[in-house]
Chain A
Amino acid sequence: MTHGRYLREGLPVPVAEPDGLSEPFWSGLREGVLRVQRCTHCGQWQFGPEWICHVCLRFDPAWTEVAPKGRIYSWERVWHPAHHALNEQGPYVAVLVELPHAGNVRMVGNLLGDPLQEVVIGAEVQGVFEHHPEHTPAYSLLQWRLR
């Protein structure tokens, strides 16, 4: 999705924390790459990011590129907007996608396509990068479509 956006403009834009913890994740999305943490000592996958591996307690788990694909773990269809930017949006679908090839870490995104479509838990999905280079600061989101 190099053009367009799933949700209307005006929501807050994601950036890394002042301490930079999640910067490799967000810069990865801008480059069209999905990165999550994987401990180089014990191999544990980890997301959201943290400064330490929650299993072996070594610091600074490595950022590792993973294929942006997975399967739907859960979903919701939003009808009542909770932000003024979405007042004219109409219903939309958010999905929680698990990545079996990355320790089943999960990502929240939107499911592209008909907002009234039937959504099936377990369905295979492919990541689609939604880039906003024109925005200051530039940012990218990771959306999903059925495979």
Chain B
Amino acid sequence: MSSDRTLRGRVAIVGVGESTYYKHGQSPDAEFKMALQAILNACGDAGIDPRRIDGFSSYGDDRSEATRLASALGLPRLRTAVMQWGGGGGGSCAAVANGAAAIASGQADCVVAFRSLAQGQHGRFGQSSASGTLSGERSYLVPYGVISPPQRFAMRVRRYMHEHGVRQEALRAIALASYHHAQANPRAVMHGKPLDAAKYDASRWIVEPFHLFDCCMENDGAAAVVMVPAEQAPDLAQKPAYLLGAASGSGHRFATLGHNSPDYASANFKTVAQDLYRMAGITPADVGSVQSYENFTGGVVMALAEHAFFRPEEANEFLTLENLQAPSGRLPLNTSGGNLAECYMHGFEQVIEAVRQVRGTSTSQAMRNDVALVIGGPMVAPASNLLLGSAAAAGRHA
């Protein structure tokens, strides 16, 4: 690989912003208005004029269109408008990478990556009222009552637990870590609503092996980051978080219809994690904190194993609340509360949290803040991931 075919050290996230996070249906503001709030907050955080923005990047079929944003914000020009394919949260990191790639290749100078999602206004992922006929992927599942996301992912997780002897307690530790960190985060929807093992165990099944607390929330909100070329980052208001690496994609035929992925019991990171570490030039031991998308806790177990933090057979031993806690657990995980307990902003709140970890301003700061990992939607295709780091980690002089 020639040395210029990388994002390492070439682009920085210089501003982060979010709307207020709400339970689904409780936002007083329209989805598009929240997108604008998040973008302006990110610009304010960076200390830049919003009219400097010349690109937008998003994922998951975001409804807040780049061209409408450019008009609404009075941008003098729009130079890049990128959408990652795939309907789920698998694009949370790819949205950052695609925007950064536009900057690194000279197609844009100031790109906002964002997600806006008002599930109260546009229908929930977890419920269906469809009738009539259907075809394609859903025709092999829905007539059998495999309809909502937890129902579509539970059998992957069950198979993984079967193959590797993973116990329910490993899933529980993921949930406990998110709720633990949310108690320190005033932005978190579940701030002030702690979770303990007994409450988890007593909670109802949504679909075995997922208890209620294994499943992400549904929320209204928006979140955004502003990126500029690395050379311009030190002049702005915040400590930059540089891209060390990014990857997205899918393993061999992972999206084959009707649950026919050859490697079924997988979060789909086996190829994507290798690409990420290769671009960043680091190993799992260098990572100080991880934000790992919890659509369902079982997906996090698989995603962490596929990013080589432990072997699947070690999951029960590795995944304890103690190990996953900031500041000094072995691997501080989902330090803002994540999709389970901060806000289900399709994982984009986790991108922002990784920036805060690098800055050293998280409400649950990890001891090591030079390298922060984000892992987008596990078990979906395409999936994506992202490594952010300090100037030193990116090989730049601060």
With A14-B135, A82-B126 as known contacts, state yes or no: A76 contacts B144, CB within 8 Å.
no
**B159 and A108 within 8 A (CB):** no
Roughly how many angstroms separate A10 CA and B135 CA in the complex, as a whole number?
Answer: 16
Chain A CB within 8 A of B258 CB = yes
Roughly how many angstroms separate A73 CA and B261 CA in the complex, as a whole number?
Answer: 12
With A12-B131, A14-B133, A80-B207 as known contacts, state yes or no: A48 contacts B155, CB within 8 Å.
no
Q: Which of B131, B148, B206, B260 contacts A48 (CB 8 A)?
A: B260
Min CB distance B163 to A, Å, is 9
Min CB distance B34 to A, Å, is 26
**B145 and A86 within 8 A (CB):** yes
Chain B contact residue count (CB 8 A cutoff) = 45
With A13-B132, A73-B264 as known contacts, state yes or no: A80 contacts B206, CB within 8 Å.
yes
With A12-B134, A108-B140, A121-B162 as known contacts, state yes or no: A82 contacts B260, CB within 8 Å.
no
With A108-B259, A121-B162 as known contacts, state yes or no: A76 contacts B141, CB within 8 Å.
no
Chain B CB within 8 A of A106 CB = yes
For residue B208, which residues in chain A have a CB less than 8 angstroms away from its CB? 76-77, 79
Min CB distance B217 to A, Å, is 14
**A137 and B133 within 8 A (CB):** yes
**A82 and B127 within 8 A (CB):** yes
For residue B148, which residues in chain A have a CB less than 8 angstroms away from its CB? 82
**A94 and B145 within 8 A (CB):** yes
A14-39 residues at the B interface, CB under 8 angstroms = 14-18, 22, 26
Min CB distance B261 to A, Å, is 9
Roughly how many angstroms separate A12 CA and B133 CA in the complex, as a whole number?
Answer: 5
Roughly how many angstroms separate A94 CA and B64 CA in the complex, as a whole number?
Answer: 36
Q: Which of A15, A107, A137 contacts B258 (CB 8 A)?
A: A107
Chain B CB within 8 A of A147 CB = no
Contact with A along B139-167 (1 / 0, CB 8 A): 11111111110110011101100100000
**A106 and B258 within 8 A (CB):** yes
**A141 and B154 within 8 A (CB):** no
Give 8 nearest A-B pairs by CB, closest first.
A48-B257, A82-B148, A14-B139, A76-B154, A74-B159, A74-B155, A79-B205, A77-B208
20 A-B contact pairs sorted by A residue (CB < 8 Å): A11-B142, A11-B145, A13-B132, A13-B143, A15-B133, A17-B135, A17-B136, A22-B139, A26-B139, A47-B257, A47-B260, A54-B253, A76-B151, A76-B154, A76-B158, A76-B209, A77-B208, A89-B145, A96-B264, A141-B144
User: Which residues of B does A touch, CB under 8 Å?
Assistant: 126-148, 150-151, 154-156, 158-159, 162, 204-209, 253, 256-260, 264-265
